[in-house]
Structure 1
């Protein structure tokens, strides 16, 4: 409140300070505005390997109030700066660079959000396999169906727990599920079924830090990822001690 248009750097700075204050209340701000608030996922970069979660993780690690400010850096031609560009930018301005994977790697040395609670042999799509059940910090249960021996480069498929009605009415999704399971049964691998609230974008690793922790707990470090597209980037996966050898489009 008390701003003019709110678009000036000075007024944006005031708005950011107000948003970051633990004593602020909604009535302190007018809407709409020029600062766009984001909410980090509980669990930070171990759940979602995004910049939002990374900024909050840094605050918590520093013992500060968990409220950060993030922005994109543009090049002189107006396009988005990439990793090589940011390296040059940091050298020019004497800045340090921290990658999301650095945060994930550090946190995994200090903490884990999952634990295995059960193991058994079950029938899965008509064939026996080993089932390992994990719980996370929310109490959600996640299932890893292991087909055949695990190798140095293991086939992995992530899938969201989907309501029966959605699978019945979405033929493409059901067909994709069947193809993935058949591939793993024939070629060995792990089908990881994640309980709701993690992967919302076709099983991207960006959204499934929990899944990455499950993979690592199984002793797997290199994966062949079964995915709907080969053009996705997987931010921060190295921090989980994992690497993708191949993307297999199913």
Structure 2
């Protein structure tokens, strides 16, 4: 599947047009229609509803969701699509479901002077809270819609709707490409958007590098300041990561007190990688990197982890899907890693190619 330059997609968004976005160039990639919310009108929303047939949503940056007092649809969705309560314009709509009514709501939510009292809940538009700093932080379509609108010089609020095939299932790869061609829409990829942002924006700064002695042997500690969340991420490196041979071992994880400090296991008898085990495995191999990501809302997440661990008869392991993306992927690139053997259960990390990274092997913990 051939996609166009991400600049063509940005130009289309700038002109108030609809574009098609896929995850990557693989034939199993899903796709969405995207456009700037401040350009939404009756015709464009009617086209989305008639031709794409998915749920019409709007991506909103986290800060904007807080300003509009949009609470989460469910108490904790940090590892899922983060829907907020549905919304409607308080004034100027009738049933709210018509294309014209939904366009009005979208324009309202994109306007900088809109306040919480201008909206009511529930409604027929479904906001998705996009991660701070967009696709660099989380490789999702809501983040991409916001990024594309911002890069196009419009309000950083994007409309998105999944494309369904004739059977009502999510269209994929070639079917999406055919859809874009049939309707004369530019086709871009999430991976290219990530790559574009990495090449044009500096979001992490290496602030310290020092050789240290650990109980697992000598490691090189590299610290990175994250300018978005004002936090410090750490990388523990051993050996020459650019040496020929098998790709180095890599583990990327958010630091978790229960797993990494108290050494608790999250499933009856089954064990998982934590910081200590990962460092020991890297030391045994003589080459690899452990990346420890700071968690912006660590205090709340610690309480959630404790509740999850204590409440289940057979506690489940924490899920780390997509944690490779964002800050972790930028750190791996800075360390010179392009191919890796990832210490993790097998996870289909979306848009990984946008960071020019490749997982050659998943290495589960089986000791």
Confirm or deny a common fold (TM above 0.5).
yes
Residues 1:163 and 2:262 aligned together:
no
RMSD between superposed Cα atoms in Å? 2.5
Using a 3 Å threshold, how does the CA distance of structure 1 residues 125 and 79 change in structure 2: closer, same or farther?
A: farther
Secondary structure in 2 matching 1:249 = coil
Conserved 8 A contact 2:233-2:294: yes
* Aligned partners of 1:75 and 1:81 also within 8 Å: yes
1:38, 1:52 within 8 Å by CA — same for their partners in 2? Answer: yes
| Cα distance per residue 1:183-230 (max 9 Å; x no partner) | 222222100000004999733345631110100011111122111x31
Q: Which runs of 4+ in 1 moved over 6 A?
A: 198-201
1:166 positional shift: 7.7
Which of 196, 200, 210 pairs up with 2:295?
A: 196
Whether the 8 Å contact between 1:157 and 1:180 is mirrored in structure 2 is yes
SS of match in other structure, 1:66:
coil
SS for the counterpart of 1:30 is strand
Residue 56 of structure 1 aligns to a residue whose secondary structure is helix
**Does 2:175 align with 1:79?**
no
Aligned to 2:194: 104
The 5 A counterparts of 1:69-218 are 69-137=159-227, 138-150=229-241, 151=243, 153-163=247-257, 167-168=261-262, 170-172=264-266, 175-177=272-274, 178-187=276-285, 188-197=287-296, 202-205=319-322, 208-218=325-335
Report the equivalent of 1:30: 120
Q: What do residues 135-189 of structure 1 show as CA deviations (whole Å, max 9, x unaligned)? A: 1113211110012221452221012122358852732388521433332222221
Per-residue Cα deviation, 1:1-26 (whole angstroms, up to 9, x for no partner): 24344223332222212212222121
Q: In 2 relative to 1, CA 248–126 (structure 1 residues): closer, same or farther, beyond 3 Å? A: closer
Normalised to the residue count of structure 2, the TM-score between the two structures is: 0.62
Change (3 A) 1:85 1:248: farther
CA contact (8 A) 1:156 1:225 kept: yes
Contact 2:206 2:223 survives alignment (8 Å): yes
Structure 2 equivalent of residue 222 of structure 1:
339
> Alignment partner of 1:36: what SS?
strand
8 Å Cα contact 1:49-1:207 kept in structure 2: no
Cα distance in structure 1, aligned partners of 2:233 and 2:124? 39
Across the two proteins, how many residue pairs are aligned to each other? 248
Q: Would you say the 8 A contact 2:253–2:323 is kept in 1?
A: no
CA contact (8 A) 1:47 1:207 kept: no
| Mapped contact 1:41–1:48 kept (Cα < 8 A) | yes
After TM superposition, the score normalised by the length of structure 1 is 0.89
Runs of 5+ in structure 2 lacking a partner? Answer: 1-89, 302-317
